[in-house]
Every structure is written in C-alpha cells, then in structure tokens.
Structure 1
C-alpha cells in the first residue's frame, strides 16, 4: 500500500483500490458531482454508491466530466432491498447502469441480506449472471454476517469477491473478517470513521499526536493495515485530500493493538439481522 492507487487483488484477479470515496447521504446534483470530481482530481480511483443513495446520476456525470479514462476507475453500486429477487435485480441493475451512464460496472453488491424476505440467494443468482455475461467485473455482498455468508457460500456457483460491512475501531467484526479471509473474500469498511463518533476518543487523540496526523487519518491507516478496503465519505475537497494522506506513515504493532482494543461491538447502522427496510 504505497499510495492512493495501490490495489488489492480480488480472488478472480481483478484489482480493487484499497482506498475510495463513499457517497452515502451526499445530495444528488452539484454536491455529489463536485465531491466525486474533487476525489478523482485528488487521485482517487474508486467511487462507491448505491441505488438507495439516489445519487447515481450525479456520480455518472462526474465520471463523464473527469479527465480520467473509464478503465482507470473502479465504480461500485448496490441493489436495494425492494429490488431483491432474480428478475427484479436484473432490472435494477439496468436502471443503475442507465443512471450511471456506464457500459460496465466494476463491483455490484447486494446491499443487505434482509433475512426476513429471504431472497438474497435468488438475488445472488442474478449477480452471477451479470458477472458471467461480463456486465460486472466483480460481485459481492454488503452487511452479511457470518451466518448469511455461510448460507450463501453453500448455495453459490461464484463466490462473493467482497463483503462491505460497518467497520471501525468500535466494531472490529473479527468473526466475519476471519471467515472472509478463509474464503478469499475482501472485507471493505463503510462508516470507517463511525460518522465522527470517534473524534473525542483519548487513545486515538494520543496516537494521532504521536504521528502528527489527524484522528481520521489514524483510523483510515488502521483500516489499511488490518487489510480492509476503506471508503470514507466527505464533500469537502480539503478533507477528501486529507483523508487520502495516509500513505506516508505506518502504525506500530502496539498502536494497532491499542486501536483494535477499542472494540465494543457498537454499531451506528442497523444490525443486518434486524434490517428489513424495503
């Protein structure tokens, strides 16, 4: 992980950047266009959106207006809960592609397992088809706990390449991280900064001071050193640049351990077993 363009190799050989921009809750229109453009100008290659974010068109516009060739970018979107199922997922994919204005996608994810409707295996079959048809370079899941993932692994032809979960020093997800590693599945962090909930943590303040870095930079560096892809959200150009300025230092094993020990299994998002929004 030498720089912002450094990649991890997914189990199908596709290169995925370790670091990217998430656009959850970034407003459609000027706000999302400007933040994606600022990220691409700062050297980001990976942009993560979702159908439910309602900003795929703005992401597409920013990509189209950037000077970076499409093949150098890594674009992720996700199928929402209400569209789960085989045919509905295929239709949702086409809708997302139309909004993004893209010919192909780099990564398509099932947004939540939604165990109450129990359609994720059917949805996965649609993702496998998109993958086999060459519409998507990699497929994966999001917010899958161990039991959801084991169930899917027992019922799939193509193994997920990525599992994107809530991951930060208060929620280290060691069980799912281990299961993903055993199966060659790349773990990816959403809400890596716990939506700002860690900025007053004394341990992190102390470590940040020691390295002459911000708390955000320390947490994002910890992500990378735990071999977790990370996609912090920001709409401020200087913050977008600052978040990415984490490739010129390395946390010691001792400091890594101190950060990991802050775990309290505390979520800011929904518990995947209880998330049933459609």
Structure 2
C-alpha cells in the first residue's frame, strides 16, 4: 500500500490517506510501516460500539476519526440482519430519549453530538431532507460530562457492519 501511495504522490498535491478499517491491529500495522501518516480512520462508531481504546489511541496519534453508522442498528434495518432486528433502536433507548427531552433536541442530534463533542467526525445517513438540517445542527449545544458518560455506558461492543457476517470473507480478517 505504501508503494502505491508514493507512486501517486505529486509534489503539487497533498495526499490525504483515508483509512476504512475496523480493527485496531490494522491501524497499528499501518501506523508502524506506512511512510505516509494516516490522516483519517473511518470506523463504525455509535453508542452500542464506542471502541474507546481504539478512539483514544488513534486520537493520541494525531489521526482524525470519522464515524459511520452513527445511528447503530437503524442503519442496518433494511438489511434485516439478526443484530439489527434484535437490538433496540438508539432513538428509542431510554437514555437517548431522556436526553432528547432534557436538551430539546432530536434523538439523532443527541447521538451525533455525543460523537462530535468527543472529537469524532460523523457522516450521518438520511434519505429524508427534513432530517438533514437538524443532523447538521449539532454544534450549538453541549452535553454535560455525565451525559457523555451515560451515553458511552450504553456500549455493547455490538458491530452491525461486520464483514464476517455478510459479504464475501476477506483473508485480512482471518
């Protein structure tokens, strides 16, 4: 991978390396052997999968984190996976509902602010234009430290986008 990146590097352009990986070992390997420092690590990240150790280490290395599937199981309902069918939707979780009322924000805004307030970029999916504006309005309020901890305490280490559960297995995950 490093050779490919170097071959494509042009002096007039800045090469930003964006990682789309889900396991810490790949990040560690890449950080150790790549001659171009990764700029961004894109991971599945939501209150049911907080990945605290990975997030802390990556941020300590000066690498930005971008979260996908920020809304947890609701991102996978249409795929009808067992985990998405058997896991309560984040927007209906009592902690999220309570905080939504407390702050006068939508459940989606609470979940997105939990991530962004911890220095994690989010790329929320919505096919509904009426939800796009509220999803982008998450920097005009702050959650308290206790509220951040309460949301993080929802962690179940539950990964919905698991290459081993659907799709073609790739040798790198064995």
Tell me the distance in 1 between the aligned counterparts of 2:71 and 2:6.
Answer: 32
Q: 2:68 aligns with which of 179, 190, 198?
A: 190
Give the whole-Å Cα distance in 2 for the aligned partners of 1:182 and 1:149.
13
2:51 paired residue number = 173
Q: Give the count of matched residue pairs.
A: 156
Structure 1 stretches lacking a partner, 5+ long:
1-122
Tell me: CA distance 1:200–1:134, structure 2 relative to 1, closer, same or farther (3 Å): farther
TM-score normalised by length of structure 1: 0.52
User: Deviations for 1:100-119, whole angstroms, at most 9, x for unmatched residues?
Assistant: xxxxxxxxxxxxxxxxxxxx
| C-alpha separation in 2, matches of 1:228 and 1:242 | 18
Runs (5+) with no aligned partner, structure 2: 75-88
- 8 A contact 2:38–2:63 mirrored in 1: yes
1:210 equivalent to 2:102? Answer yes
Q: Which residue of 2 is the match for residue 160 of structure 1?
A: 38
Provide runs of 4+ in structure 1 moved above 2 Å: 127-137, 274-278
User: Normalized per residue, which structure has more helix?
Assistant: 2
TM-score by length of 2: 0.80
1:137 deviates by: 4.1
Q: Does 1:142 align with 2:20?
A: yes
Counterpart in the other structure of 1:228: 120
Q: Per-residue CA shift, 1:194-226, capped at 9, x if unaligned?
A: 142311101110011100111100000011111
Aligned 8 A contact 2:163 2:169 in 1: no
How far the C-alpha of 1:157 sits from its partner, in A, is: 0.7
Alpha-carbon separation, structure 1, partners of 2:36 and 2:150 = 37
Structure with greater strand percent: 1
